[in-house]
């Protein structure tokens, strides 16, 4: 299985006259963890959202596990193979944590409540909040909520996990617990695309770094090389600013 899990081909996305993504092409292999970074407005989130077609791109195509997104007739089924974690967690406030995690497996994949709940409890244990299953999102801290959101995404046994700035809305003390879960996932072979500003995490966990600016991929390199000697000047500038903040 040498073909890439995700193949982005000349992707173009426009909002009216604003070009969010411009002729973006990239392949991502199975089992790799790739961090996508860049200044705000560079198109990082848009790229992620095109991969599960939450954004309707105008040009190009995305091929996921051999299937073209543009030609896809059963979008819900395709989306259930891709897990997504959002900056603001987006847990459903009117459902318990357990229900949050079991909802999609039951409704979209038709699993029985018992089977879904078993899987859910296992996942919630794995992310460290097994005892919170009966509570509601409003009763949990930000870090706990985001871990629950990760469990919700994992409940579908996805082939790919997309993380859209998963720690940007968290208090500093809670960032570590979420990154720990993500590192754990990466070490267990999950294919992950992570949009983040957490450069320490990138350096430690990511296999590759992709740097985007103004809707294009400006540089892509293996982690070590990116941090020691980024080729593009824009990438160097970005790295300087971000690392100085540390």
Partner 1 sequence: MGFDWAVIQDNLPLLMRGLWNSVQLAAITVALSFPLGCVVALGRISPRPWLRYPATILVHALRSNPLILIVFWFFFLVPILTGRPVGDFASVLAAFVVFFSAYFAEIVRSGIQSVRRGQLDAALSTGLTYAQAMHRIVLPQALRSMMPSLATECVIVFQGTTIAYVVGMREFLHTTFLVTERTMRPVELYLFAALVYFVVCLAGSLFARRLEGKAGRAR
Which residues would be at the binding site for partner 1 (CB under 8 A)?
49, 52, 54, 76-77, 79-84, 86, 88, 90-94, 103-104, 107-109, 149, 152-153, 155-156
| Contact indicator for 140, 171 with CB cutoff of 8 Å | no
The tokens of 237 are what? Answer: 């500038």
Of 155 and 194, the one with the shorter C-beta distance to partner 1 is: 155
Of 80 and 144, the one with the shorter C-beta distance to partner 1 is: 80
Of 116 and 221, the one with the shorter C-beta distance to partner 1 is: 116
Minimum CB separation of residue 155 from partner 1 in Å reads 8
The Cα 148–Cα 120 span in angstroms is 10
Of 185 and 221, the one with the shorter C-beta distance to partner 1 is: 185
Of 51 and 209, the one with the shorter C-beta distance to partner 1 is: 51
Minimum CB separation of residue 95 from partner 1 in Å reads 8
Minimum CB separation of residue 237 from partner 1 in Å reads 31
Number of helices (H), then strands (E), in the chain: 9, 10
Of 161 and 218, the one with the shorter C-beta distance to partner 1 is: 161
Minimum CB separation of residue 148 from partner 1 in Å reads 12
Minimum CB separation of residue 14 from partner 1 in Å reads 17
Q: Hey, what long-range contacts does 173-181 have (CB within 8 A, 24 or more apart)?
A: 173/143, 174/141, 174/142, 174/143, 174/146, 175/143, 177/128, 177/143, 177/147, 178/143, 178/146, 178/147, 178/150, 179/205, 181/127, 181/128, 181/147, 181/150
| Contact indicator for 191, 81 with CB cutoff of 8 Å | no
Minimum CB separation of residue 94 from partner 1 in Å reads 5
CA distances from 124 to 10, 36, 128, 173, 186 (A): 38, 27, 6, 20, 17
């Amino acid at each position: 299985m040498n073909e890439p899990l995700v193949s982005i081909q000349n992707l173009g996305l426009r909002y009216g006259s604003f070009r969010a993504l411009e002729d973006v092409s990239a392949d991502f292999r199975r089992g790799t963890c790739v961090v996508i970074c860049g200044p705000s407005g560079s198109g990082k989130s848009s790229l992620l959202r095109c991969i599960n077609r939450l954004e309707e791109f105008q040009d190009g195509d995305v091929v996921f596990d051999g299937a073209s997104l543009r030609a896809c007739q059963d979008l819900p089924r395709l989306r259930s193979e891709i897990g997504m974690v959002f900056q603001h967690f987006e847990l459903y406030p009117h459902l318990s944590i357990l229900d949050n995690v079991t909802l999609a497996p039951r409704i979209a994949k038709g699993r029985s409540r018992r089977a879904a709940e078993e899987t859910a409890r296992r996942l919630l244990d794995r992310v460290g909040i097994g005892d919170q299953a009966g509570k509601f999102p409003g009763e949990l801290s930000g870090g706990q909520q985001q871990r629950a959101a990760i469990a919700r995404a994992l409940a579908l046994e996805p082939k790919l996990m997309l993380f859209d700035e998963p720690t940007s809305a968290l208090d500093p003390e809670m960032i570590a617990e979420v990154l720990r879960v993500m590192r754990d996932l990466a070490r267990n072979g999950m294919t992950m695309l992570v949009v983040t500003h957490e450069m320490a995490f990138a350096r430690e966990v990511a296999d590759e770094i992709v740097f985007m600016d103004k809707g294009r991929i400006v540089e892509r390199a293996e982690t070590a090389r990116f941090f020691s000697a980024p080729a593009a000047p824009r990438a160097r500038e970005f790295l300087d600013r971000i690392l100085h903040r540390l």
